Every structure is written in C-alpha cells, then in structure tokens.
Structure 1
Amino acid sequence: MDLNFQNFDNVNSTNEQSGAFGGNIGDRNNLVGSGASSSAPSGGVFDDAQSGTSTRKGNLFSFEYYQQFFDVETDQVLVLIVIKRLINSVVPTHRNYIQDFLQPIPDLWGPFWVSVTLVFSIGIFGNLAQFIENDGAKGSYGSDFRMVTSASTLIFLYVVIVPLLLYGLLWNRRSEMLHPYVDLVCLYGYSLAIFIPVTFLWIINMGWFRWALIFASVSLSGTVLARAIWPAVKNDVNKMIAFGTVATVVILHFLLAFTFKVYFFDSMHSIPPNL
C-alpha cells in the first residue's frame, strides 16, 4: 500500500488567519479564559482594576466622577468587597490596606452600605438595650427614632469630614504618598464594619464586657487605619507630626466607639420615649 504524506506546515498560519487556536502550547493568548473578558461588559470601574490601570473619568464636581465608584457587578462585589475589603478592614496584617486592597480603584458602594447598616444597627440594638436596661419603663418605654438621625449624623461626620481633614494635612505637609480623598473615604467607610457585630453584642448589660468590646474593636480596625496612614507620614521631617497624626487617627476611632457606647447603649442617661 502506497502511503502519501502531506505537508501541514501551513495549518497554523491558516488557523491564525481564521482566529482559531493553532495548538501551540507557548501561545497563551488564545487559551480558555483569556478570551472571556472580550464578551464581558466593559466600562465598569473594576474592569480597569483587573488590568492594573486606573482611568478615573470626569472631574471632581461631575456626576460621572462619582458614578464610576458605584459601577460594580455582583461577582465583583462578592470578591473585592466582601472577601478582601470587609474582612481585611477588621483583620490587621502586615499589608497596607489602601495600597493592597483599595488601589487602583476604590469604591463607595461598600462604605455606603456599611455606614447605612451601622446606622440601623445602632437604632435597633440601641433601643433594645435601652428597653432592657430600663426594664421596659414599666410598659411606658417607646422606641426613640432619634437614635437613627443622631447615629447617621455622627457617622457621616466621621466618614466624610475626618478623611477630608486628613487629606488636607497630607497635602499641606506635601506628603510623598498623597492618597486621593476617595481612597481615604473608602478606608474609613470600611473601618466601621467591625462595629456592626459589636452593636449587637452591646445589648448585654455588662460594663466590663462593653469596654472589652471597645478595646478589641478599636485595636483591630485602628491598627488597619494606622498601618494604612503611616507610610504617607513616616517620611515627614517633623516626626512629632508623623506620630501625632497616627495617634490622632487611633484616638478618633476610639472616641467614635466610646460615643456609640455611652450615648446609644449606656443607661447613665435615660432617653425619653418618642411620643
């Protein structure tokens, strides 16, 4: 039987022209998974995070500038926010939270819902704690919805104003690592996540237990804040300002937790019912 062998040298070139994978192991551009991104929706703020580039469009006073920080998808929220950003905001590591978990693209979606959840958590569990500590005021105690407005005002001032003051300080000191204001807002927004389960545990009317929760929560999230801010101020010529900035960040975080405990949960002042 006569065997005729054909030359297949031009197969790869034909496949390349037709867009098919030519079977070359070294060619990783056409492997499974590399082309999936071409069919995925583009234009989202996290699309650039996957490529390692940051394309923040619009100016600071335009709607498009802030819209891009809320342009996320369900799977991206699960991976980038729930797993990386929420957990690492309460678990101190040797890594820098801003550089390793927020950049190049921060988001305002997570901090927004963390803040809103904390507001309602304080309103619900704070009223419940007041009810328990006052023994129901003999049937005359009512829910105080002013807790919601007070908590929202306090949290808004902390998440918006404190990062603004910190950004102004870094800008005034001409810091070598000037974090964008949005990054700082994102940092402080996620730092509140640890107080959500703490407000639930504060229902237990035990003074030492509530203080222990304050020191534990502030130690964890405060360490994350301090390690995120320290690289931006450590090279300041005035070391007193550098150490003072980090100390102020931790102290303000402690005062926030202390205010939550005293004003919304302690029974040292009985809030009248909202008739």
Structure 2
Amino acid sequence: MSTNPFATSSPPPVFGEQAPVAGPVGGAWGPASTPLDEEDEPFTAAHLAAANEAAVPAVGGAGGGAGSSRPAHTALTFTESTAAVPSASSMGGRVGQPSSSGAAPVSPVPRVGSAADQALLASSPGPSAPLGGNGGMAGGPAGAPQEDPSKFAFYNIKRYRGLFNVDTSDVLARLLHAVLLFFRGDFLQYTDGNPDLYGPFWVASTLIFVTAAAGNCASYIDWTMHKPEGSTSAGWYYDVDKVGGSFGLFYGYVGVVGLILYFVLRWFKAGVSLASVWCVYGYALAAFIPISLVCVVPIESVRWAVVGAATLTSGTFIMLSLRAPIHEAAGAKALPLYIGMIALHAGLGLALKLYFFRYKDIPMP
C-alpha cells in the first residue's frame, strides 16, 4: 500500500488564519536552482510609473521606521493621460452628432451619402439607388456600373423604369410649369433630359373621371331645371358612356396624336424622343382638369370662356415646348405641321365642350 506524498502530521489550520503553503521537497517540486532574470521580474509599481513618465514614489516603513517589516500603503500619482475623454454632455443626442460644448468634438459617424461614406463603401456594391436620367443607377458609389435599359427587351418592364423616375415634388413642379408657366417654352430643358410618363398617365386618368363626373353633374342640373312641370314619367339616369368617351378622347389624343407627331419629327430628323412628346402632351392636359369643374355652372358663356382659355393655354404650352426642335429640323417646312397641331388641339377643346357640357343655358333671375 502506497503512502500519500501530500499527507502531513501538522494539525489543520484554524478557521480565519492563513496556513503556510509549502510544496514537496526535492525532485521537480524543489526550489528553482537559478534566480529570475531581470526581464522575468514581476510587473511592479516602478514599471507602471515609468510607463506614465512619473517618478517612483518612495516607499517607507510604517511610521517611517527603517526596521518596519511591512511597508505602508502609499498613493501613486501619475501624469494626466493624453487620451481624449468625451464629456458627459457629448454622450447624449443622436448617433454621430458632434458635441455642442466647448470640449473637443467627437468624430461623428459618417452620414449615408457623405464623402466619408462613399470612401468607406467604394469597394462594395452598396444599396439599391433610384434610376438616373439615363436609366442607370444614380446615387450609387463611385465607379459602380451603370445599368443600360436598352439591353432589356421591349416587353421587359425594366426597360421603362427610367420613365417613372420621379417623385411627388417633381410631378407637382412640372404641373405648375405646364399650367402657370406655359408661356416660357422651356419645358424640355426644365425636365433636364429626363421626361417621365408617370405624370402624364395620372393627368389623363384624372381628367377622364373628372370630366365624366362633371358632365353627368351638369346633365342632372339641366334635367332638374328643364323637366316638364308635373311630369313623373321621365327620370334622370347617369350616362356611363361618358366614362368610355372620355377614355378614348384623352388617352387617344395623347397616345395617338403624340405617336403621329413623333413619326413626323423622325421624318424631319428632329432629335426628340417619343417619351418627350408624350410628356409634353400629357402635362398639357392638366389645364382642363380645373375648368371641367367650372363647367358644371349652368351658364353657357362661362363654359365657352373657360374651355377656350384652357385650350389656348395648353395649346400654347405644346407649341412653345416643341418649337425649338421642330424649327431646327424642318425650318420653313414646319408651317403645315404647326397648322395641323393647332387644329387637332382646337378639336380637343371643342370635343370636350360639345360632348360633356352641351346643355341649355339656364336664365339667371
């Protein structure tokens, strides 16, 4: 039976007292035969003070006596650190917002789209960005490949994404430019080579339902004021055909007339795209939306006046917007084209008045 090498005959220590720890004597458990090197010495207060460029404090015995066995506790004083510590006021607020106090501001987190952010994301593809005027990815990181819409087939919706690259502010600004600033004639330059079909589509769609509703409202007013006295056999009915008629009138005018004009301009070799022609004709219809509501008033002179004003202003907007490319391409030969454009637009105004608001004038008392 082997003996326990860690066994001892000394009594166990009393609870609360520190018992001396001693390893086995001899062999590999014995004391080291060589002293520690200087570089193997433990990390002392001298090392810590030297790292902070401070003098080593004097450590004396308790009570200053030389024969004291235990040194007294002495507080060490170090130099002030050079690291910038943010103040308490700079720790609040938004992420990356510089401090407004007098302390040194903390470097803010770069905002998305800033120069620092672009440099940080220069090697990554980055998030999706809206399409630019040429159909490519605009607003992406520098050096990102531009998407060419012409590589898609004509039936692929990705080919036409650039024609809907507008927001609400863009559409409203173009509407105001077409209605209030129709006499300037710089609409194609104002769109900056980025014609859209989003605004023309909603302008024509809004005009379809507004004219159909206003025309039926005017019809009801006319029936109420001119029905025979005491007649109960005949009633008023909503004319749903006006919705279909307005659909063919306005979509046909923008789509078909714009397409014919585009082919004529191609024959003259004018540098105008089909999207630009549709954009001009679509926004020109915006002038007819408010006058359709005014035409509900049962006074023929007012109806003719507002329809004529809307036809004149919208026709002027179309002629002035397309005058420069037509004149550069056709020159003196463009006179028949101008006459045809004026005649077709005047026909639109007459069709609007005679189809939707052709009712008897109600005499005012």
TM-score, normalised by the number of residues in structure 1:
0.73
Q: Secondary structure at the match of 2:160?
A: helix
- CA contact 2:131–2:138 (8 Å) conserved in 1: no
**Is 1:152 equivalent to 2:241 in the alignment?**
no
Assess, with a 3 A threshold, how the Cα gap between structure 1 residues 245 and 40 changes in structure 2: closer, same or farther.
farther
In the TM superposition, what whole-angstrom CA distance separates every residue of 1:159-207 from its partner, at most 9, and x where no partner exists? 11111110111111222xx211111111111111111111000011222
- CA contact 2:211–2:292 (8 Å) conserved in 1: yes
**Is 1:79 equivalent to 2:169 in the alignment?**
yes
**Is 1:132 equivalent to 2:226 in the alignment?**
no
1:118 is matched with 207
Assess, with a 3 A threshold, how the Cα gap between structure 1 residues 132 and 68 changes in structure 2: closer, same or farther.
same
Q: 1:49 offset after TM fit, Å?
A: 9.9
- CA contact 1:170–1:233 (8 Å) conserved in 2: yes
Q: 1:61 offset after TM fit, Å?
A: 4.0
Assess, with a 3 A threshold, how the Cα gap between structure 1 residues 61 and 114 changes in structure 2: closer, same or farther.
same
Q: 1:66 offset after TM fit, Å?
A: 2.5
- CA contact 1:225–1:250 (8 Å) conserved in 2: no
Match of 2:237 among 125, 129, 142: 142
Gaps of 5+ in 2: 1-109, 140-145, 361-365
Q: Secondary structure at the match of 2:298?
A: coil
- CA contact 1:110–1:190 (8 Å) conserved in 2: yes
Q: 1:237 offset after TM fit, Å?
A: 5.3
Letter in 1 for 2:205: V
1:261 is matched with 353
Q: Please identify which structure carries the higher helix content.
A: 1
2:131 is matched with 44
1:106 is matched with 195
2:107 is matched with none
Letter in 1 for 2:169: V
Q: Distance in 2 between matches of 1:214 and 1:122?
A: 12
Task: Tell me the C-alpha RMSD between the 2 structures.
Answer: 3.1
Q: 1:32 offset after TM fit, Å?
A: 9.3
2:66 is matched with none
Q: Distance in 1 between matches of 2:148 and 2:113?
A: 24
In the TM superposition, what whole-angstrom CA distance separates every residue of 1:216-253 from its partner, at most 9, and x where no partner exists? 112222111001111122134561x3123223223322
Equivalent positions of 1:27-66 (< 5 A) are 34-35=114-115, 41-45=128-132, 56-57=149-150, 58-66=152-160
TM-score, normalised by the number of residues in structure 2:
0.56
Match of 2:291 among 183, 198, 202: 198
Look at both structures and tell me which one has the larger radius of gyration over its CA atoms.
Answer: 2
Match of 2:163 among 55, 69, 83: 69
Q: Secondary structure at the match of 2:179?
A: coil
Q: 1:31 offset after TM fit, Å?
A: 9.6
Count the aligned residue pairs: 231
**Is 1:182 equivalent to 2:275 in the alignment?**
yes
In the TM superposition, what whole-angstrom CA distance separates every residue of 1:98-134 from its partner, at most 9, and x where no partner exists? 2222x42222111111111111001111000011112
**Is 1:94 equivalent to 2:184 in the alignment?**
yes
